[in-house]
Amino acid sequence: MSFRWSKDTYEQSLSSRCWWFTPYDGGQWSDAIQADEELRQIVEMEAALDDVPPWAQQIVARSIRSACPCGHYLFPQPYLEVLDAIGAQAAPDLVHSCFTVARTRKRQAQDYAFCLDAWLASASPEAPARELAALGYRQIDWHETCAALWQTLGERTEVKELLVERMLHSLRWSIKFTFWDGDPASAFGRDQYLGDYARMDDAAGAASIDGYYERPTFCYEQASPRVRRMEARLAELLPDWAVWRGQLKEWWLCAPKSFRFLERVLWSIGQGHPLQPNDRVPGFLRCEDTYPDQAEAAQWWAAFCAALDGWWRGEPAGSGVAADVEKRLGAPTPVKRWLVRLFLYKLVCLEKNGAQLANLVRADHSHRRGTQPLRSPDEADSGER
């Protein structure tokens, strides 16, 4: 039976169901999809399969659909885990994508949250610095870091206190309600009410986030009366509160440069205006080791995408990244080849249509570079410390 590229063919395919965070999200036919030759060939590969086994269906619906739109702070671990799943012919128990944060990352965030809490309490910078030097998770010069943070925030005002308090609330929310293997948002912040709780198998919980990503629990931060009071007062004080609010809501602990973004927001609070595209924000939180060097990430990304393209085509693997890809995927099969081509095209679409991933994996950026080395799932911290 000959293949016919049509609305029915596409919308009935599994290949139509994995485009979250791209223009093709939703699985509906469009003029752009009709004109997309690469997608047509991917769907044709799927149609040529005798059968798509349940494990492959689950990988499409979970691993490929939920592929990190920002790259994740453990880049490239989440992408390599998709290859591991394809190679093992089994979907993972937990997809490490949006809102997945290991304990180690949460403890880093707690150190910075403690600094902000001390500032709000009108403590001197020496007070939190002494405690963090003795008990903090991050081994950095806390005396210089706290002094720089206090200086950056500048003279205390009601607006600054409210903005810092709102940022701190979001930081604590992320520490509490992000999750990881063995931590379904139950290990941190149990003494803090940060919004209304819902399980994701509840209708209310599922509706809260539209079911875009896997998570066992959810907390609606805006339901907190404290948050509503803070935001109402900020709306009274700041004519541009809508801009500020948008920037505060863009912060995610799972993102590669979450602490750099925190640094930028705190600098803007000290400056008294929302962030502007051309702002040159100095580093004062000493967080460069918490996010990747984009030059290294860009080099790895190019090699990774080339290796995936070569693998599904049946080309010799070579060494380095390509050899690692071949090892993870194992012996090729028609189902695996289709999955890898589909996954590769999802990554291409994420890079092309999402500024978050592009900022990480394109070498032509002008953003501050990190020093965190790239890690694979074999090397990555389990987060148990």
Distance CA 157, CA 198 (A): 36
Residues 176 and 210 in one domain: yes
185: pLDDT strictly greater than 90: no
Q: Which residues lie closer than 8 Å to 166 by C-beta, 6 or more apart?
A: 227, 230, 231, 234, 248
Question: Residue range 80-96: average pLDDT?
Answer: 95
- Selected residue with higher pLDDT from 238 and 192: 238
pLDDT score at 200: 52
44 in a domain, yes or no? yes
In a shared domain, residues 173 and 193 = yes
**Residue 280 falls within a domain, yes or no?**
yes
pLDDT digit string, tens, across residues 300-326: 999 999 999 999 999 988 889 999 999
Q: Is 381 among the domain residues?
A: no
| pLDDT over 70 at 30, yes or no | yes
Please report whether residue 89 resides in a domain. Answer: yes
Over range 349-371, report the average pLDDT: 78
In a domain, 377, yes or no: no
- Per the structure, the count of domains in the chain is 2
Instruction: State whether 127 and 172 are in the same domain.
Output: yes
Report which of residues 220 and 198 the model is more confident about: 220
Which ranges constitute the DSSP H helices of the chain? Answer: 7-11, 31-34, 37-47, 54-58, 77-88, 103-120, 126-135, 142-153, 158-177, 203-209, 225-237, 241-249, 258-271, 294-313, 321-329, 334-353, 355-361
Of the candidates 62, 66, 69, the residue with the CA atom closest to the CA atom of residue 92: 62
pLDDT of the residue at 377 = 62
Report pLDDT digits (tens) over 262-280.
Answer: 999 999 999 999 999 889 9
Mean pLDDT across the chain, nearest whole number?
A: 89
Q: Which of the listed residues 255, 290, 325 is the one where a domain comes to its end? A: 290
Element (H or E) spanning 219, and its range?
strand 217-220
- Distance separating alpha carbons of residues 175 and 102, to the nearest angstrom: 10
Indicate whether 227 belongs to any domain.
yes
pLDDT band at 212 (very low <50, low <70, confident <90, very high): very low
Domain, as residue range, for 335: 7-97+293-361
pLDDT of residue 204: 39
